[in-house]
Amino acid sequence: MPASLVISAPASGVGKTTLTLALARAWRQRGLNVQCFKSGPDYIDPAFHAAATGRASVNVDSWAMDRGTIAHLVSRGVDADVVLAEGSMGLYDGVAARGVSGTGATADIAEMLGWPVVLVIDPSGQAQTAAAIAAGLRDYRAAVRLAGVVLNRVASPRHEELVRRALDDIGIAVFGALPRHAEISLPKRHLGLVQAEERAEIGKLIDEAARFVAEHVDLDAVLRSAALGSPQPAANGLNVAPPGQRIALARDAAFSFVYPHMLEAWRAAGAEISTFSPLADETPDASADVCWLPGGYPELHAGRLAANARFRSGLRAFAETRPVHGECGGYMVLGTSLTDADGVSHEMTGLLGLETSFAKRRMHLGYRLAELAAPMPGHQPGARLRGHEFHYSTIVAQPDAPLAVVHDAAGAVMAETGSRRGHATGTFFHLIAEDR
């Protein structure tokens, strides 16, 4: 029976990912099979999890997924020795209005699955107050059980002792304390961590994190605090329909934001997936019946994409007879132009009239519920799709017909509707699941 834990924190940027990767690799080095999950809508962390464990990691999301779907996804850990679910933002952070099975908060997953929480606490600039924060998180929701804490970025032995004593006084276990260690810092960019596949030294970085954490954290005590139980498979599977039988999927450093559970659901439904690289000037598989361009970082590669005439003409030829869909970055590339951070406009594929700019940055972030006004690959008009939007690009022009009526998590109608023209469709939100 796997030992299961949730890794969370009071806020973002405290060290959840680093601790998750370090624990996973340290236990793997001890001969244990480790399965990771990511709570919430994140495309980058699961790839780091896979690098640390050698097993694919998937997202679980209480706002977009029902309990059966979440149970189905976590059942992949049935043969693991240790299961770790990395949270997003702070432990209780979610949206104001409840979704399918919760608000998207990490605490929803901890309560639903009965997995204890290990908190990463950064006591920088404080001492005993860190214990008050931990106590508040422990007591805020009775059904969420706190296993203990790991202190991160402690300033000195004296600082550590003050925090440890305060936590001990209120009965909260301290599994370890990590001094500052620049060698295990993960690089970031505007949408989060630099992707694992872009870091040739990722294995060495995770090894160093594992060594450092094993030196300062009682790994045995952390394991003893975990819940023991075997995840049970769920019969209903995933609420995701494949966009076609043979799917040409753009896949490279510019197009990498696709949820692993989506690809697994497509394959489980019998679909075949072939990948191609727009950055390498490749075109979709001619035998495919649909092309899918996921999100990523096209704004960082706009000049190269614009120069790849074979890719652009090949995609346009494909779209003359077959559907092409783009999500977020993929949507931008289906448009007419993309202006980069320096204000230079680059010609895109022109399958849609969309014009976007990364020079005029404004963060767009949040869950989305879309009701389709027209078909898109895999879904008919009237379908209700749950997804998430996160980007900094702005729309300069969007002349095409709307694809959907889109609401945020609170029910407010969004101005961004996606668009459609001919066989091309696109949205700024990433699909997570369909309401059924």
Catalytic (active-site) positions: 328
- Contact (Cβ atoms closer than 8 angstroms) between residue 419 and residue 398: yes
| CB of 413 closer than 8 Å to CB of 404 | no
Q: How would DSSP label each residue in 95-125?
A: -SS--SSSSS-HHHHHHHHT--EEEEE--TT
CA distance 256 to 425: 19
Residue with tokens 């406009």: 345
Do the beta carbons of residue 383 and residue 427 sit within 8 Å? no
CA atoms within 13 A on the CB side of 343: 0
Instruction: State how far the alpha carbon of 248 is from the alpha carbons of 102, 252, 256, in Å.
Output: 34, 13, 14
Question: Which residue type, as a one-letter code, is found at position 120?
Answer: V
Torsion of CA 89, 94, 96, 100, to 10 degrees: 160
Question: What is the number of alpha carbons within 13 Å of residue 257 lying toward its C-beta?
Answer: 29
